[in-house]
């Protein structure tokens, strides 16, 4: 609502007028990023007289390895803002998976939120319903913001969203059918279609890595070296030359990318395959940014020979720290200083 996506209409004609003004335009919110998302659908619902707004969320808590309920009496705001400004106003409760969400936990949450005792049982049903949806649909997040108390003492979810575990979607074809690619990052959609795991970020150093853990470590090391990663990209266990080429095309489709770091630890993969993919990509794709490659593991010597004999301007590194430092140096200095970097490879 605060970003202009919620409009209050008082007549049918006003509904049509506002819908026409929204269609085809972009909405920029905290979730969309600076580029925003196109508006192609408008949801019309009856206005509700609101007495109170509450925030309610269910998320996976990695520390406790449990589902955590997060609630606040200050609904309608981003939970990040509430947490930063008034952390004491947030109510938290973890759910023991063996027994599920219990009524007494729901009553405690209602009490801490200052819910009218006459509405406690309704709040219990709401909380347990949200938890049931979380479990039955393999969700990773359920967020209701705001959950409101109306003037006639009803509890309603006015705005709700859910995210789901991609690995469990085979159990929920009805949810898969709801996928709207127009609301996704086009790069992430292309990556999914190619079997790659990609998340776009706002940095300048593109990352091509095998393994989610190594990809996260690579991003952290880039930041420690003074740079900003442009993406998370896990090419997985089958790093064939064709797959590496696809990864390069994807990373370079981001105009913010000013250097590309390839970091491969080959176990199932083979460094020579990856090296062939890098060489193939650089010969097929127009690459106008520095490329830094760090290989380790199976057939690493063969991979290094392929890179060395290619005659291509590839900056090589032997450790992750070295690769990150060279990536940041290449990004900061620009192409003019690449010869100096390559001279020590």
CATH of the domain at 215: 3.40.50.261
Tens of pLDDT, residue by residue over 126-143, are 999 999 999 999 999 999
Q: Are residues 65 and 165 in the same domain?
A: yes
Residue with the bigger pLDDT between 118 and 184: it is: 118
Distance from C-alpha of 38 to C-alpha of 54, rounded to nearest angstrom: 28
Q: Of 34-43, 92-101, 318-327, where does mean pLDDT reach its minimum?
A: 34-43
Q: What is the pTM of this model?
A: 0.66
Residue with the bigger pLDDT between 32 and 155: it is: 155
Distance from C-alpha of 152 to C-alpha of 286, rounded to nearest angstrom: 63
pLDDT tops 80 at residue 35 = no
Tens of pLDDT, residue by residue over 196-229, are 788 888 899 999 998 889 999 999 999 999 999 9
Q: Are residues 192 and 326 in the same domain?
A: yes
* Helix H or strand E segment including 303: helix 300-309
Q: Are residues 213 and 257 in the same domain?
A: yes
Q: Work out the percent of the chain whose per-residue pLDDT is above 90.
A: 50
Q: Are residues 209 and 320 in the same domain?
A: yes
Number of structural domains the chain divides into: 3
Distance from C-alpha of 215 to C-alpha of 114, rounded to nearest angstrom: 44
What secondary structure does DSSP assign to 49-94, as a single string? Answer: -EEEEEEEEEEEETTTTEEEEEEES-TTS-HHHHHHH-GGGEEEEE
Q: Are residues 252 and 333 in the same domain?
A: yes
CB 23, CB 42: distance < 8 Å: yes
* Helix H or strand E segment including 193: helix 186-193
Hey, CA dihedral for 176, 182, 183, 189, is it positive or negative?
positive
Which tokens hold the place of 253? Answer: 């489709």
Domain span including residue 113: 50-176
Q: Are residues 21 and 81 in the same domain?
A: no
* Helix H or strand E segment including 148: strand 139-150
Closest CA relative to residue 310, chosen from 340, 280, 284: 280
Q: Are residues 113 and 32 in the same domain?
A: no
Domain presence at residue 137: yes
For 276, phi then psi, to 5°, come to -60, -40
Helix count (H) and strand count (E) of the chain? 12, 14
- Cα angle, residue 216 at apex, residues 213 and 221 outer, rounded to 5°: 125
Tens of pLDDT, residue by residue over 63-72, are 999 999 999 9
- Omega cis (within 30) before 146: yes
Which residues does residue 295 pair with via DSSP β-bridges, in sequence order?
264
Spatial neighbors of 249 by CB under 8 A, at least 6 apart, are 281, 285
**Which positions are annotated as active-site residues?**
55, 143
Q: Are residues 310 and 276 in the same domain?
A: yes
Which residues does residue 232 pair with via DSSP β-bridges, in sequence order?
199
Q: Are residues 191 and 339 in the same domain?
A: yes
Q: Are residues 161 and 251 in the same domain?
A: no
């Amino acid at each position: 609502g605060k970003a202009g996506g919620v409009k209050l209409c008082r007549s049918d004609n006003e509904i049509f007028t506002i819908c026409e003004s929204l269609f085809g335009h972009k909405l920029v919110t905290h979730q969309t990023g600076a580029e925003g998302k196109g508006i192609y659908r408008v949801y019309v619902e009856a206005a509700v007289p609101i007495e109170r707004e509450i925030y309610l969320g269910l998320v996976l808590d990695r520390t406790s390895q449990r589902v955590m309920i997060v609630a606040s009496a200050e609904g309608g705001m981003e939970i990040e803002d509430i947490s930063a400004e008034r952390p004491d106003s947030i109510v938290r409760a973890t759910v023991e998976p063996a027994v599920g969400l219990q009524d007494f936990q729901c009553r405690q949450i209602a009490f801490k939120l200052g819910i009218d005792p006459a509405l406690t049982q309704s709040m219990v049903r709401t909380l347990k319903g949200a938890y049931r949806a979380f479990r039955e649909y393999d969700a990773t997040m359920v967020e209701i913001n705001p959950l409101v108390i109306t003037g006639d003492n009803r509890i309603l979810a006015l705005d709700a969203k859910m995210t789901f575990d991609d690995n469990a979607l085979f159990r929920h074809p009805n949810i898969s059918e709801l996928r709207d690619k127009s609301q996704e990052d086009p790069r992430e959609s292309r990556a999914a279609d190619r079997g790659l795991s990609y998340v776009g970020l706002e940095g300048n150093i593109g990352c091509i890595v095998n393994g989610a853990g190594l990809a996260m470590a690579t991003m952290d090391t880039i930041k420690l070296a003074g740079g900003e990663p442009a993406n998370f990209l896990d090419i997985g266990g089958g790093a064939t030359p064709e797959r590496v080429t696809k990864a390069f095309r994807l990373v370079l489709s981001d105009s913010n990318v000013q250097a590309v770091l390839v970091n491969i630890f080959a176990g199932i993969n083979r460094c020579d395959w990856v090296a062939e993919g890098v060489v193939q990509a650089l010969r097929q794709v127009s690459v106008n940014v520095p490329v830094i490659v760090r290989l380790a593991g199976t057939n690493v010597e063969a991979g290094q020979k392929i890179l060395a004999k290619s005659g291509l301007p590839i900056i090589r590194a032997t450790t992750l720290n070295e690769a990150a430092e060279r990536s940041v140096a290449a990004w900061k200095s620009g192409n003019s200083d690449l010869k100096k970097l390559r001279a020590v490879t």
